[in-house]
Amino acid sequence: MIIVMKMGATQTEVDEVLTRLTNGGWKTHVSRGEERTIIGVIGDERKLEPGTLTQMEGVDRVMPVLRPFKLASRDFQAEDSKITINGQVIGDNKVVVMAGPCAVESLEQVLETAMAVKAAGAHLFRGGAFKPRTSPYAFQGMGEEGLKILAEARRQTGLPIVTEVMSPEQVDLVAQYADVLQIGTRNMQNYALLNAVGQTRKPVLLKRGMMSTIEELLMSAEYIMSNGNHKVILCERGIRTFEKYTRNTLDINAVPVLKELTHLPVVVDPSHATGRWTLVKSTSKAAVAAGADGLIIEVHPNPAEAVSDGEQSLKPKRFAELMVEVRRVAEAVGRTI
């Protein structure tokens, strides 16, 4: 349910409505637009009589929210959310690029990559210290040592760090080092983990599950937001279909659909979507043309020797070429990069 306040409603009138709701046991979310204030009501709405609220001073109307995701819905917040990460704003006119290796392997590998992607124009540095792998025998990541390496890369380059957290127990540790907490595709519906990152105030990059619907992605975002953390960035990274020529199928439809349904920023991961470095440039340009707020791209100085996802990683020179072409597309659709 949302409560639309009248144009010119005073802060006192807004506070009285909030007090009424809080005393009744409901959570609230306030969205202040240029002309009106909207109050989102979270909780069991069956116990809330809309007619009594419309009698309160300053209330214009009370409207039900039909979608199951409340806080993420444009019904609650019409304006796009803008999430600031160390000076970089995601959700504005600028297309933000996150780039780096799938896995942290060594200090030398990370620093070489970080400096190369920064020189090419990347805005954030991504790298995995903890790696969820299909095989228990595959490289699982360097853990806290990997986090320390990422922190050193940030110190030397100034690039904010994006890295994955895999369990509720890891949240506090990863949050000490990371600027953005990534929830991977395998953990999109790990509700204990979603609740845990929701209790932090770190921005969260939420990847769509490989077999999840758009609504399921938004419901996972709702878990994070219902815990008080509204700094959620959605990531389309391809879904599993019957197609065999790519690792996954990039659902480019998801970008405009999500932009209609939610105010949250949307980024695209063309590396995992295709699984082939030869396809990353084309799909990156398609994502920007479709309206994505950002890209997350795997880059490695020597993909042939990468311990994880080398076949989909760009060499630094190829990443620099991609940035040139993506910038042209961004400018063609009225954006910057």
Hey, what domains does the chain have and what are their CATH numbers? Answer: 2-63 (3.30.70.1140), 83-332 (3.20.20.70)
Q: How many CB atoms lie within 10 A of CB 216?
A: 15
**Contacts for 46 with CB less than 8 Å, ≥ 6 apart:** none
pTM, to two decimals: 0.86
- Predicted confidence pLDDT, tens digits, the chain (337 residues): 889 999 989 999 999 999 999 888 888 888 887 778 988 887 766 667 778 888 899 999 998 777 888 889 998 888 999 999 999 999 999 999 999 999 999 999 999 999 999 999 999 999 999 866 566 655 567 889 999 999 999 999 999 999 999 999 999 999 999 999 999 999 999 999 999 999 999 999 999 999 999 999 999 999 999 999 999 999 999 999 999 999 999 999 999 999 999 999 999 999 999 999 999 999 999 999 999 999 999 999 999 998 888 999 999 999 999 999 999 999 999 999 9
Contacts for 164-173: CB closer than 8 Å, 24+ residues apart: 164/128, 164/129, 164/130, 164/131, 164/132, 165/130, 165/193, 165/197, 166/130, 166/132, 166/193, 167/193, 168/192, 168/193, 168/195, 168/196, 170/130, 171/196, 171/197, 171/200, 173/144, 173/147
Alpha-carbon span 144 to 170, nearest angstrom: 10
Alpha-carbon span 324 to 337, nearest angstrom: 10
Q: What is the DSSP secondary-structure string of 60-76?
A: EEEE---SS--TTBTTT
Buried b (16+ CB within 10 A) or exposed e, 291-325: bbbbbbbbbbbebeebbbbbebbbbbebbbebbee
**What is the helix (H) or strand (E) element at residue 97, kind and residue range?**
strand 96-100
